[in-house]
């Protein structure tokens, strides 16, 4: 309860956003079971569920980070407002498109769909750029817990890099460009699958391709570095301070290398897990 109260006092908007998005995940989960429609090979409400959970976790995480940076009130205010607005806007568009029975990402088949996709892209780009200010604050702040400090610095940096990998998905694929050349139409621009169309066989729950490269894998791993590395520090809390720092730096290096290897694997068209 003390932690929740501290989050409310420090970042009420982000905390409220996290609670709202957590609640929003409940009807989306129900929609997976109640709505039989499929969008690009996945249940219509799977993407809204994943985004609601992921953005709720990020909102709570950022609110917690803000409690560690009391000397940066202006940064907290600007980044907090930007993040809350963008997360709510993203989920509103994703849920609206799921309700309409069409895809939210890469969909430029109509003027409305293209506009919504463009708004999402611009909004998340702005949010990612403002989050750089959080990384700067973390790198400049002196932490009493040195291990936690390194986990947050590296974690936030990797999270920002992971967010930017989303831009790799927005480039029209060779198949899309060829189709546009033949038909004069470009209904979709971009894909998360490398080497095939989106919508093929994927891992249960995530939908990550089991046949081709999938940029969502490094995107996911990068985005959640800011949660995973601090959690590692928590698990090593019984170790001596100097030992925790060394372990944290090793864990951060391994995590960063894993992110880079997963990105390279996806770009060369290889799946995380191949299932024939």
Q: Could you report the average pLDDT of every consecutive run of 10 residues in the chain (276 residues)?
A: 81 96 96 94 93 96 96 95 97 97 93 95 96 97 94 98 94 85 85 87 87 94 97 92 94 97 95 82
Contacts of 10 (CB under 8 A, 6+ apart): 63, 66, 67, 70, 76
What gap in Å lies between CA 189 and CA 109, rounded to an integer?
Answer: 9
What is the Rg, in whole angstroms, of the alpha carbon atoms belonging to the chain?
20
DSSP letter at 168? G
Copy the structure tokens of residue 215.
């940029």
| Angstrom distances, CA of residue 75 to CA of 114, 132, 225, 230 | 32, 10, 21, 21
What gap in Å lies between CA 146 and CA 90, rounded to an integer?
Answer: 35
What gap in Å lies between CA 86 and CA 93, rounded to an integer?
Answer: 11
Copy the structure tokens of residue 228.
């995973």
Q: Render 90-111 in DSSP notation, one character per residue.
A: HHHHHHHHHHHTS-SSSB-SSH
| Phi and psi angles of residue 39, each rounded to the nearest 5 degrees, phi first | -125, 120
Contact 138, 156 (CB under 8 A): yes
At 59 the pLDDT is: 97
At 1 the pLDDT is: 60
70 half-sphere exposure, CB direction, 13 A CA radius: 4
């Amino acid at each position: 309860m003390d932690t929740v109260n501290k989050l409310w006092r420090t970042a009420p908007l982000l905390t409220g956003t996290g609670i709202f998005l957590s609640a929003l995940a409940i009807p989306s989960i129900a929609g997976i079971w109640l709505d039989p429609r499929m969008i690009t090979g996945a249940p219509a409400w799977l993407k809204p569920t994943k985004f609601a959970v992921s953005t709720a976790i990020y909102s709570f995480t950022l609110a917690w980070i803000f409690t560690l940076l009391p000397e940066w009130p202006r940064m907290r205010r600007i980044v907090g407002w930007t993040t809350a607005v963008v997360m709510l806007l993203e989920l509103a568009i994703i849920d609206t498109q799921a309700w309409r029975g069409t895809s939210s990402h890469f969909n430029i088949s109509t003027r409305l769909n293209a506009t919504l996709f463009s708004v999402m892209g611009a909004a998340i780009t702005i949010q990612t750029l403002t989050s750089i200010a959080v990384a700067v604050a973390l790198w400049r702040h002196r932490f009493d817990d040195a291990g936690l400090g390194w986990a947050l610095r590296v974690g936030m940096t990797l999270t920002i890099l992971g967010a930017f990998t989303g831009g790799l998905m927005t480039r029209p694929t060779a198949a899309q460009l060829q189709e546009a050349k033949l038909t004069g139409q470009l209904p979709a621009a971009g894909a998360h699958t490398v080497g095939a169309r989106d919508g093929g066989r994927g891992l249960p729950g995530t939908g990550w391709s089991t046949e081709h490269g999938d940029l969502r894998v490094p995107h996911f791993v990068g985005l959640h570095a800011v949660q995973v590395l601090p959690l590692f520090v928590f698990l090593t809390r019984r170790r001596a301070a100097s030992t925790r720092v060394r372990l944290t730096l090793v864990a951060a290096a391994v995590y960063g290398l894993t992110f880079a290897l997963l990105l390279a694997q996806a770009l060369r068209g290889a799946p995380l897990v191949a299932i024939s």
